Amino acid sequence: MAGPMALGIIAIQAFNLVDIFFIGLLGTDALAAISFTFPVTFVVISLAMGLGAGLSACMGQALGRGDHQQAALFTSHSLLLTLGLVCVISVLGSLTIDPLFRLLGATEALLLLLHDYMWIWYMTVPLLVLPMVANSAIRATGDTRTPSLVMIVAGLVNGLLDPLLIFGLGPFPELGIKGAAIASACSWFMACTVGLWLLWRRERLLVWPFHQAKHIVAHWRQLLHVALPACFTNLLNPLSVAILMMILARLGTEVVAAYGAASRIEAMLLIGVMARSSVLAPFISQNTGAGLHERSRFALFQSMRFALWFQLALFVGLWFSAPWLAARFSDNAQVSQYLTFYLRLVPLGYGLQGCFMLLASALNGLRVSSISFALNSVRLFGLLLPLAWLGNVWHAEQGVFIGILMANILAGIIAIGFAWSRFPWKIKRPL
């Protein structure tokens, strides 16, 4: 199941890197502006991931019991709730662009670029969130190949449109940073259309949401019982990134630009773990619903071993390629220097960070996402931010990066210990 997911994530992240590459050609200000958007875009993506996790857990257990009708109702009611929530976010976000990014530390020059990009992003973001939740439903059936194919095609559309719309190649207008936002919106529209069609026609998991309307509130309660802690868990990440960006913004635009590029590269390096994590929750959910608890535990620990060895191998290769990668993302010598230092240091802890991610996914599959929320709170606010702040006081930007590494290492050790002591061989019911 993780193999096709890895290919889909590779495609999306590869074209995200293409985004950063082309935007970086517009200059350091454009790259820094996009870096400031990460906390905000992470908030919305985290919401989609939380709702997808809740739907996957509830629907997966229904499918494990063989109740397809219940699974279809869960899916339809979940998508209705998703659409309502993301529309509210879209309106509120478009009205608060300037004050929000001023709070994050953006300069007036960057605000002009941010407004151009984020207004389009907010207006089209429902097209991003709906297919994310829809794909979670398809993956919960055990099919990871089709969602991956949709992700690959969407990434290809985005990557092809980027240079055309950003630089005005051929008959296309030169739109600069606006062009990157429009290219993303076009790819989202394609993914949304295909994802909803697959749920309706092939999987038979999409019905009129007001059919058996008496169950809507009950289904929303069951969904939110898992989704809300999962959403809050995911929202902790952009919140911590926003605070981290405020720390980095005081160190200069070059540091912010380097961190923004490093974040996109980091997403590529964690693809193997992300693929395992995305399928671990529905795998555990279905096996728990079918009573195969030993199989769930085995899957978690096999995934953790994979994360440790795979990320260690990537770190060794990255040590030698870091200067070359840094030079590809910026022609600014200082940005390249900061980025090289980051890539030769922080990825050392990605294996243990992956173990933490996998544990969180497993807990969502067991419908105990509140425990995942508590553990993530400790990781971010008990480890990451304090250590990054102390690192800043001790040794500026290099100290911040060292603090990030130490937080990932400590969080991974906690995750392995928790899983070993608390993930039982047999669970008579979902915890």
Over residues 64-77, the pLDDT tens digits come to 777 677 778 878 88
293, 427 contact by CB (below 8 A): yes
Q: Does any domain span residue 429?
A: no
Q: Does any domain span residue 61?
A: yes
**How far is the C-alpha of 15 from the C-alpha of 11, rounded, in Å?**
6
In the chain, how many domains are there? 1
Q: Does any domain span residue 406?
A: yes
Q: What is the dihedral of CA 407, 226, 121, 261, to 10 degrees?
A: 20
Q: Does any domain span residue 428?
A: no
44, 184 contact by CB (below 8 A): no
**How far is the C-alpha of 34 from the C-alpha of 267, rounded, in Å?**
16
Whose tokens are 């007001």? That residue is: 210
List the chain pLDDT tens, one digit each, 431 residues: 777 777 777 776 666 677 777 887 888 788 788 878 877 887 888 788 788 877 877 777 777 777 677 778 878 888 888 888 899 999 999 999 889 888 878 888 888 888 889 999 999 999 988 888 888 888 878 787 888 888 888 888 888 898 899 888 888 888 888 998 999 899 889 988 998 898 888 878 787 766 666 678 877 787 777 777 877 777 777 677 778 877 787 777 788 878 877 877 887 788 888 888 878 877 887 777 777 777 888 888 999 999 999 999 989 888 888 888 787 777 777 788 888 888 888 889 889 999 998 998 888 777 777 788 888 888 888 888 889 888 888 887 788 889 889 999 999 999 998 888 776 544 444 44
Per-residue model confidence (pLDDT) at position 211: 65
**How far is the C-alpha of 121 from the C-alpha of 174, rounded, in Å?**
18
**How far is the C-alpha of 39 from the C-alpha of 53, rounded, in Å?**
20
Q: Does any domain span residue 202?
A: yes
**How far is the C-alpha of 119 from the C-alpha of 241, rounded, in Å?**
21
Q: Helix 28-64 and helix 68-95: axis angle, to 10°?
A: 160
Q: Does any domain span residue 301?
A: yes
Provide the strand spans (E) within 253-390: none
Report CA-CA distances (Å) from 201 to 9, 142, 206, 247.
Answer: 25, 17, 8, 49
Residue 407, C-beta contacts closer than 8 angstroms, at least 6 positions apart: 349, 379, 383, 384, 387, 388
Q: What DSSP state is assigned to residue 66?
A: T
Q: Please give the residue range of the domain that contains residue 248.
A: 2-422
The phi and psi torsions of 150 (rounded to 5 degrees) equal -60, -45
Q: Does any domain span residue 260?
A: yes
Per-residue model confidence (pLDDT) at position 23: 82
* pTM reported for the whole predicted model: 0.69
**How far is the C-alpha of 264 from the C-alpha of 258, rounded, in Å?**
10
Nearest to 280 by CA among 307, 257, 256, 259: 307
Per-residue model confidence (pLDDT) at position 210: 67
Per-residue model confidence (pLDDT) at position 425: 46
**How far is the C-alpha of 360 from the C-alpha of 354, rounded, in Å?**
10
Handedness of CA 262, 265, 271, 272 (dihedral sign): negative
Buried b / exposed e along 33-52 (16+ C-beta atoms within 10 A): bbbbbbbbbbbbbbbbbbbb
Q: Does any domain span residue 430?
A: no
**How far is the C-alpha of 128 from the C-alpha of 154, rounded, in Å?**
11
Nearest to 219 by CA among 80, 363, 371: 80
**How far is the C-alpha of 85 from the C-alpha of 75, rounded, in Å?**
16
Whose tokens are 């440790």? That residue is: 308
**How far is the C-alpha of 125 from the C-alpha of 148, rounded, in Å?**
20
Nearest to 71 by CA among 148, 128, 140, 118: 140
